[in-house]
Structures are given as structure tokens and as C-alpha cells.
Chains A and B, each alone.
Chain A
Amino acid sequence: MEDAQRFHDFMQRIEAGEKIESTDWMPKEYRDLLIKQIHMHGISEIMGAYPEKEWVTKAPTIRRKLALNAKVQDEIGHGQMLLRLAEDLSRPYGRGREELMDDVLDGRVKFHNVFHLEAPTWADAGVIGFMVDGGAIITQAMLLESSYAPYARMLKRIVAEESFHMQHGESVVLALAEGTEAQRRMLQDAIARWWPAMMYFFGPREMGPSSKKMMEYKIRTMTNEQLRQKFINRYVPRIRALGMVIPDPNLYQDPDDHVWHYTDPDWNWFNEVVHHNTGPMSQARLALRRQAHTEQRWVREAAFQAGQVLQNQGA
């Protein structure tokens, strides 16, 4: 079949709301957009482990330590599942796990802005669960409708786990809000730190060409601004109910059209951080990933070699 005809048929399937499986024919552009999205998503899950893992060793109760350790484990698990999906899609390009992971260290794949930032107090560990995982749920709930069936299926499990993470974060945040003056101050400071980052989290008001293409292919189904509005609408009452202040004097909801108005984050600064890994913690976190991936390559090689030996013995 001619490529033009195939493309036409493919788009008809997409427009009819059909789901695409990994074994189906797909245009190169669709495959590349999926790789870009899923690779970035997977790597963000993995890089997201670092700001929180710092707090597992400092968690203030047995229960919190167990919960946070489990949460970080879940994030790595999501990263692993998503990378397997990205590996599968990347097979025609001859690229596997090693290459996809090298891309992080060589700056060829971005990760979410929030994971470039500092998490200097226990309250940050709570707020990451409460607000960042809460934001991720909003984005990922949209992706449940994705036209790429394996991604949508995987997200079902991921969203279910993220909602536990959000509840864990909320529970940490509630304990702080009900605590001493020092605990409340710690919480207020953390919310002030993460609010602008969450405004950036959903992307620019005017979406870039790849995001628009992803909408056409129904890989995603909502605009950046729709997602951000959903987040603000959900979190303004939650944060105020904690007795905390949102650090944006321009924040208000238009009573007629219910649209939230907000102060723009420093788009240029965050763009620079995400594109060039120049955030306050970007390099430190990349160094941790390098420790795991590069410095321990010898272990993976040894495992491969041992596998060969055992296979030969069995043969």
C-alpha cells in the first residue's frame, strides 16, 4: 500500500477514536512523537526519585519512612515500565536501554522542570507528593485517553499509584499544617517555592508545534492551559483550607467565565533550566544518575557475561 493511503487510513482510525497497538503500522512522525513523549515521561519519573530519596533517610517516623521509600520505588518502577515502552518504539532505530539512559547524561532528553529544583526541607518532600504528583495526575488522567493503547494501559496503573502518592503527600502536609509554628512555616515556605514551578509544569500558554501535533494524533487530548486551569481550580481551595497562602497577588477567578488569572512564571528562566540543565540541582541530580548508569556499567557487563557463561554451561 502506498504510504499516502496508509497515512490516510491511519488518520481515519485516529479520528474515529480507535487505539493504535505497537504492532500496527504507524507514521514515522507518530512514532517519533510517542518516543519523545514517553522517553521524557519515563526519565522524569526516574529523575523525580532524587529530590525525594534525600528525605527517606530523614523521615521523622517509621510510617513515613516506609511510605516514602515505597513511593520512590514506585517512581523508579514507573520509569522502568515507560522506558520499556520507549525501548520497544525505538527498536527500528536500534536504540535500547543503554542509549536511552545515555541520552539523559548527554542532555539529549529533557526532564520535568520541578526535578531540577531544590527540596531543602521535609515540607518539600510532602509538597512534592501533594502538588507535583497531584499535577501529574491531571496530566496523566488526560493521557489515559491517548490514542497509543500500550501507553494508555500503562498509565492506568501509574495514575492509580500516583493517587496514593498524592494522598501520602497530603497526609504529610496536613500533619505540618496542624503542627507547631516551625512546622507551619516550613510548609508555607515550601508551597511558596513550588507554586511558580507548578505554573510552568503544564507548559506555555501557547503550545509548541510538537504538542499541537500530539493533539492532532490524539496522543494527548487537552491543551496546556486547560490542564493548568484544572490544577489551579483544584489546588487553590485545598491550599487555602490548610490555612496557607498562595504566593500570587494576581491570582483570581473571573466570576463570569470561571477562568483563573495568574502571574506567569519566569518562562525564560525555566526554559533555560529544562533545556540546558542549569537549574539549582540539575547537575547534582544528573551526577547521581551518572553514578548509577556509568559508574556501575561494569556490574551490568558482569551480569551479561555471567549470563553467557551459564547459557553455555546449560547448552
Chain B
Amino acid sequence: MIVEILTDAERVALQRILIPVADDEWILGHRGSEWLGLAPDLEEDLALSSITQDNLGHAQLLYDIVADLGGYSADQWVYARSPSEWKHCQLVEMSRQDWADLVAGRFVYETFDEMRLQMLNLIAYQPLQAAVTKIRQEKMYHLQHFESWVDTLVLGGQSARQRILEALTDVYAQIGDMFVWEETNPGLDLWHLNETARGLPQKWVTRLQGKYESLGLPWHTRVIPQAESNGRLGQHAESFFPLWKEMTSVREIAPLSGW
């Protein structure tokens, strides 16, 4: 049964599940906005900024749901937290690098996120289901977009192929905390999602292996690497601190004023 009202325990549990998801999308959108005017051509600039707009919009949808469950407003979730209160994974906070790195990172993340959204859709809370439906519709295009960029670079000559292969390898080393659910575990219990969550890494590895094989790329049996530090627990790479400082710098001038 799909419900519109949650118990207190469910409310807290759902907030804990959604914050890491919203944080992933927000930070991804923030990093995406750094690419404005810098994509390989104008057409890609338009596509990528449109994806960025979607990412920020998804985060807003989810923060709004969390805010409606009590506590911080959506803006406070973004602007009033200290760096260690952010729960996004390390992959999304990577500084802007080469185009191949962006493509590899986004392809890996979007493949994972589609599976995570499928799982969230099992939570029978009406506002969340409406949001997830909308997000998945847009995400389908994001995944297609980055997957086609992987194909393009693989087929785009020796040097481009080399670059995307190296980027995929580098990205793989950074996904340790992507599948971690630590603080959200009580919520996963409540909605009987533990087993689904535990199965995600294997499902994701199988999907990626399929992609590698279809492109004739070498696939070595891969396991999800151990997270050296865990973004889901608020442990972030050095590169996140300048991002956070920049993001909050204007609002900090008059935190209680209208902007």
C-alpha cells in the first residue's frame, strides 16, 4: 500500500536514506556547473548544462521531501551543514579533470544510480514515488548520454580509447563508498530493502562487465574496492573543502538575510 503519512521512526529513517542520494546529485550538479563554457563543443555544453540542471533539480526534489518530514529546509540542507555532515560518495566530489574522466565517472555513477532509484521505488511513500518516477525519466537520458560518450571515445582512435580506458580504471578505484549504506541501515530494515541493497554491487559489476565485453574491452574479474575513507560517514577528500567553502561563501555574508 502506498502511504502519504509516515510514522516518526519511518520519517527519520527515510531522511537518512534520502540525504546521501540528494547529496550525490547536488554535488554532481555543482561539479557539472564548473564545466559551463568548457565542454568540447557548444552542443555538448548545452547537453551537459542541461544534465547539471537536472541533477540540481533532483537534489532539490529530494531535499524538499526530507524538509517536509521535519527539521531543516531544503536551503539549510545545502547551506547550513559543515563539510563532515555531507553524505555524498567520493566519486561525485572529484575535481574537474579531463573529458574522459568526466565521461567515465558519470557512466559509472549513472549505472549505479539507476539501480539505486529502482530500489528507492520500493518504498511505498507517495511523494517519494512521484519524485523517483520523474528522476528516472530524466536519468534514462543521462545514462544514455554518457554511455554513448564511452562508445565514442572507445571508437575514436587509439589515443581516445587509451584515455577512456585509463579513466575507467582510475574511477573504479574510487567507488568504494558508493555502495555503502551505513547510516541508512535502519531504514533499509524498515522497508525490507536490505537484501536488495546487498545485491546492488554484484548487479552493477555484471552490468559493467557486459558493457566492457560489448565494446571488446579487457575485463578482469573485479571486486568493489574497499573504501579508504567513507563519504557516507562524512569523510571527504581534500578537494571537497574548497568546493564547500566556495559554495557557501556568498550566503555566509548575511546568513539570515534574503538573497
Contact = CB atoms under 8 A, between A and B. Distances in A.
Contact of B63 (A62, A69, A292, A302): A62
Contact of A305 (B34, B52, B156, B257): B156
B78 A46 contact: no
Interface in B225-249: 243, 246-247, 249
B33 A57 contact: yes
Contacts of B249: 58
B131 interface: no
A300 interface: yes
Is chain B's interface secondary structure helix, strand, loop, or mixed overall? helix
A80 interface: yes
Nearest to B26: A62
A122 B250 contact: yes
Interface centre among A73, A80, A179, A288 (most CB of B within 10 A): A73
Given A46-B42, A175-B258, A292-B40, A66 B49 contact: no
Interface residues of B, number: 48
Nearest to A80: B42
Contacts of B152: 302-303, 306
A110 interface: no
A301 interface: yes
Interface residues on A, range: 35 or more
Nearest to B31: A57
A66 B53 contact: yes
A176 B197 CA distance: 46
Nearest to B255: A60
Nearest to B42: A80
Interface string A50-93: 10010111111110111001101100110110010000000000
Contacts of B108: none
Interface of A: 46, 49-50, 53, 55-62, 64-66, 69-70, 72-73, 76-77, 79-80, 83, 97, 122, 172, 175-176, 178-180, 182-183, 186, 288-289, 291-292, 296-306, 309-310
**Pairs A-B, 10 closest by C-beta atoms:** A302-B156, A302-B160, A299-B40, A306-B155, A60-B251, A73-B49, A296-B40, A60-B259, A80-B42, A53-B36
